[in-house]
Amino acid sequence: MDAVLEVRHLKKTYKKGKNLINAVEDISFEVQKGECLGLVGESGSGKSTLAKMITGLEPADQGDILLNGKTITGLNGKAQRAVYRDIQMVFQMPADSFNPRIKLGEGIMESMINQGVARNEAKTRAQEYLKICGLSPEFADRYPYQVSGGECQRASIARAIAINPQLLICDEATSALDVTVQAQIVKLLAQFKKKSGMAQLMICHDLALVQEVCDRVLVMHNGRVVEEGTPDQIIMHPREAYTQKLIESIF
């Protein structure tokens, strides 16, 4: 097995007035090819900060992030943009993750065009990906406010997979959606994992969802990984007191 993503001793501290908040404290983990790693924890446990650091939207204070064995921490400009060929992300709020002034299709095409794909081809490919995600091609000509949250999230997934990344990060991708739509989206993501061997990092606070799709789960608490294992292990036999509490609060 080879690791697509490797995170080593990552640290991030925010300053809030005089207080220092340790958002992420010394976290290390790996995501293998074709694996879906779940990251659970209450809000404020540093999950989203971790996602932002992996995608380079926030600089890391300490530690290394490796993509296919190459470090991607502290990059900027062109080198950082090159990383985005391999890492994509699906955001929490579907409606906010599309520019309200730009059609969905245009948003999906953007990454392809930036990679030098011709406009016409990008357009047909965008429509194909919309179809794969269960949306008809007409959605390419709609604005974000003209579609529902679930449809928007599908478009968001279409955008993320359009350039066939090696790693897909889903930052609470389903938490803003209702249960039936959630199930559809999760199914869709599982399909991609199977088909293209894409590694996935699912950031989530819904343990039931994690149990369904993830191969391995990390439980985060106050910026640290407190437990690691398969979903069944963690839900049936939680070792840590915090994990027990987390599970009790749901079931």
Partner 1 sequence: MELTTVKATTIKIRAHKKQQDRIMIKLVIFMALVILLLFIAAFAAQLVPYDPYAQDLTIALQAPSQAHPFGTDRYGRDMLSRVIMGGQTTIYSALLLVGVITTFGTLVGLFCGYKGGKIDSFIMRVSDIFLAFPGMVFAIAVAGVLGGGIINAVVALACISWPKFARLARGQVLAIKNMPYISAAKLSGSRPTKIVFKHILPNITGPILVTATLDIGTMMMELAGLSFLGLGAMPPIAEWGSMMSDGRSMLQTAPWVILAPGCAIFIAVMLFNLLGDTVRDVLDPKTKKEKFTWRRK
Q: Does 125 bind partner 1 (CB under 8 A)?
A: no
Beta carbons of 173 and 153 less than 8 angstroms apart: yes
Q: Burial letters for 4-16: b for 16+ Cβ neighbours within 10 Å, e otherwise?
A: bbbbbebbbeeee
Task: Compute and round to an integer the Cα radius of gyration of the chain.
Answer: 18
Total residues in contact with partner 1, by rule CB under 8 A: 28
Q: Is 45 helix (H, G, I), strand (E, B) or coil?
A: coil
Q: How many CB atoms lie within 10 A of CB 166?
A: 18
Cβ nearer to partner 1, comparing 145 with 251: 145
Count of alpha carbons within 13 angstroms of residue 25, beta-carbon side? 13
Candidates 98, 129, 139, 192: give the one binding partner 1 (CB under 8 A).
98
Token pair belonging to 116: 């030098």
Q: Does 146 bind partner 1 (CB under 8 A)?
A: yes
Candidates 103, 154, 159, 221: give the one binding partner 1 (CB under 8 A).
159
Smallest distance, Å, CB 112 to partner 1? 9
Give the footprint of partner 1 on residues 37-96 (CB under 8 A). 55, 57, 81-82, 84-85, 87-89, 91-93, 96
Which residue, chain included where needed, has tokens 């399909």? 191
Smallest distance, Å, CB 30 to partner 1? 22
Smallest distance, Å, CB 199 to partner 1? 16
Beta carbons of 10 and 53 less than 8 angstroms apart: yes
Give the footprint of partner 1 on residues 99-118 (CB under 8 A). 99-102, 107, 110-111, 114-115
Smallest distance, Å, CB 52 to partner 1? 8
What is the rounded distance in angstroms from the CA atom of residue 248 to the CA atom of residue 251?
A: 5
Cβ nearer to partner 1, comparing 45 with 88: 88
Cβ nearer to partner 1, comparing 79 with 236: 79
Smallest distance, Å, CB 239 to partner 1? 35
Beta bridge partners of 66: 6, 71
Which residue, chain included where needed, has tokens 């900027």? 76
What is the rounded distance in angstroms from the CA atom of residue 227 to the CA atom of residue 202?
A: 16
Rounded to 5 degrees, φ, ψ at 78 are -65, -40
Smallest distance, Å, CB 95 to partner 1? 9
Smallest distance, Å, CB 81 to partner 1? 4
> What is the contact surface with partner 1 in residues (CB under 8 A)?
55, 57, 81-82, 84-85, 87-89, 91-93, 96-102, 107, 110-111, 114-115, 145-146, 156, 159
